[in-house]
Amino acid sequence: MHARLHSLRLDPKLVAIGLGGGLLSGLLGVGGGIVMVPLLVLWAAYSQRDAHAISLGAIIPISIAGIATYGVAGEVRYGTAIALAAGSIVGARIGAGWLARIDERLLKVVFGTFLVAVAVLLGVH
């Protein structure tokens, strides 16, 4: 599968989605995808599958900005972060493979259920 290059014109709607994802990622430590995927689907009319793939590409600069900001403040535990990254690399590869095969409707249900479950767990923790 080859990466598709799209026009470099910056769509203001996409910039706003990225801003929201970046703000909440930096503020709350959540993956930007939790914000960006629903907005890409509901507001920018991307398919669920495309929204997942697009948000994964956007997470790289979000992560770099977060590491720079928290790293300068001495708040990044690099050993812990490296261990998480090692597992994440393997998990992301497996998950991306599943993404290519899972039904679009099921993907929406699984993602929505995940968001609700996380919200409930954080609310009671």
What is the per-residue pLDDT for 109?
94
pLDDT surpassing 70 at residue 3:
no
What is the per-residue pLDDT for 8?
67
What is the per-residue pLDDT for 2?
52
pTM over 0.95: no
pLDDT surpassing 60 at residue 53:
yes
Reported as a single tens digit per residue, the pLDDT across 78-103 is 999 999 999 999 998 999 899 889 99
Amino acid code (one letter) for 12: P
Residue of 57, 46, 69, 49 lying closest to 18 (CA atoms): 57
* Cβ-proximal residues to 9 (8 Å cutoff; 6+ apart), any chain: none
What is the per-residue pLDDT for 93?
92
Reported as a single tens digit per residue, the pLDDT across 8-44 is 678 999 999 999 888 888 888 777 788 899 999 999 9
pLDDT surpassing 80 at residue 76:
yes
CA distances (Å), origin 65, targets 20, 44, 61, 71, 72: 14, 24, 6, 10, 11
